[in-house]
Amino acid sequence: MNRLAIFDCDGTLVDSQASICLAMEHCFIGQKLEPPGRESIRRIVGLSLVEAVAQLLPEADDAFHRLLAEDYKRAYFALRSEGKIEDEPLYDGIAETIAALDDAGWLLGVATGKSDRGLLRVLEQHGLRQRFVTLQTADRHPSKPHPSMVTAAIAEAGAAPDTTAMIGDTSFDMAMACAAGVHAVGVAWGYHTRHDLLEAGAAHVADHARALAPHLEGL
């Protein structure tokens, strides 16, 4: 059976917190609302956009959450076109780790709260698109921690839950992995704490990208 390593994107492959925080602040200000603190924004990275906004503004209704989500998209693309958002850098060691897993016969996937367009832009920017056999985004799935993205990735890759690992930096990733019955591996360089990851079901937490491979042994 194929072995499949599914990566989250924001906070796991790339450090996108600056761009996400800036766009979220702009969309709140545009509605004459006090922007959330950046720690609060980092805590919701990984959720699909409407669900993320709902976490930040729970007192509003669904219609307003959807309005803010659209405002966020417009703010993000406006800021990028104005050169106020820079490219999102890969974390140290990620490119080498992905290449090593690919060369070792692992199939690779992504499960992210980003849109299709946002994910493809990041992967193409860093020359990684060809490494991944399955890409699952918020455009086609319920928000994490629903297991839909993981189960779809397994089906596309011809893998099985017991030969699949979900690698991510948030409790949403770990809860999604547990819901799908796959191996949950947290990473310590992202937006949730080691305690958050372990509490949500992580079997291991890697301190650096180069430490990921040993946590996948035995699958």
Enzyme catalytic residues: 8, 10
Residue 68 to residue 88: CA distance in whole angstroms: 23
Q: Are 208 and 189 in contact (CB under 8 A)?
A: yes
Residue 5's nearest CA partner among 77, 99, 68, 76 is 99
Angle at 159 between CA 154 and CA 160, to 5 degrees: 85
Q: Give DSSP secondary structure letters for 127-191.
A: T-GGG-SEEE-TTSSPPTTSTHHHHHHHHHHTEEEEEEEEEESSHHHHHHHHHHT-EEEEETTSS
Sheet holding 183-187, edge to edge: 134-136, 107-111, 2-7, 159-168, 183-187, 204-206
Q: Which two tokens stand for residue 162?
A: 């017991």
Contact 150, 157 (CB under 8 A): no
Contact indicator for 27, 128 with CB cutoff of 8 Å: no
Q: How far apart are CA 80 and CA 74, in angstroms?
A: 10
